[in-house]
């Protein structure tokens, strides 16, 4: 993703809105050095993998008429559709969630799909069990 003026401005405003580059780095799971390269224009583009981490946080700060719609690599689903809606000021991942995400990122696309199907099935069973317990 080419770093346009709109993306740079969104990045600056988002960091300011969250409070600090350190906090933004934690929420986006992108290291501070990489973010600094973008802010100082030492890098002219953002890798797709990094963009997929940044976009959910930047989306509210991007102009509506210039809203890029990146695609998730394996699924070809627009990132804004696949991304979990988060409260930028209050949501932080737990250590366990970060470990799971890091481990998941290392899996092959085929294994990722298999594991996602397993997780969805487990969640479906848990919902059904919960509903039957309420009755």
- The percent of residues above 70 in pLDDT, for the chain, comes to 79
Within this chain, do residues 33 and 83 fall inside the same structural domain, yes or no? Answer: yes
Within this chain, do residues 83 and 101 fall inside the same structural domain, yes or no? Answer: no
Among the residues of the chain, which ranges form H helices? 5-18, 21-28, 32-39, 48-58, 79-82, 95-105, 109-134
Average pLDDT of the residues of the chain: 79
Helix (H) or strand (E) holding 95: helix 95-105
What pTM was estimated for this model as a whole?
A: 0.50
Within this chain, do residues 3 and 25 fall inside the same structural domain, yes or no? Answer: yes
Within this chain, do residues 81 and 27 fall inside the same structural domain, yes or no? Answer: yes
Residue 54 burial (C-beta neighbours within 10 Å; 0-12, 13-18, 19+): buried
Domain limits at 105?
Answer: 93-135
| Model pLDDT for residues 72-129, shown as the tens digit of each residue | 444 444 444 444 444 444 456 677 777 788 788 888 888 888 988 898 899 889 888 8
């Amino acid at each position: 993703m080419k770093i346009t003026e709109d993306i740079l401005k969104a990045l600056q405003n988002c960091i300011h809105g969250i409070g600090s580059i350190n906090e933004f780095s934690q929420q986006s799971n992108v290291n501070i050095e990489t973010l600094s390269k973008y802010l100082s224009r030492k890098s002219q583009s953002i890798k797709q993998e990094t963009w997929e981490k940044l976009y959910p946080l930047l989306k509210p700060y991007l102009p509506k008429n210039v809203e890029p719609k990146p695609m998730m690599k394996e699924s070809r689903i627009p990132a804004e559709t696949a991304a979990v809606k988060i409260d930028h000021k209050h949501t932080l991942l737990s250590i366990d969630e970060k470990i799971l995400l890091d481990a998941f990122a290392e899996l092959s696309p085929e294994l990722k799909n298999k594991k996602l199907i397993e997780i969805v099935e487990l969640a479906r069973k848990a919902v059904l069990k919960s509903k039957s317990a309420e009755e």
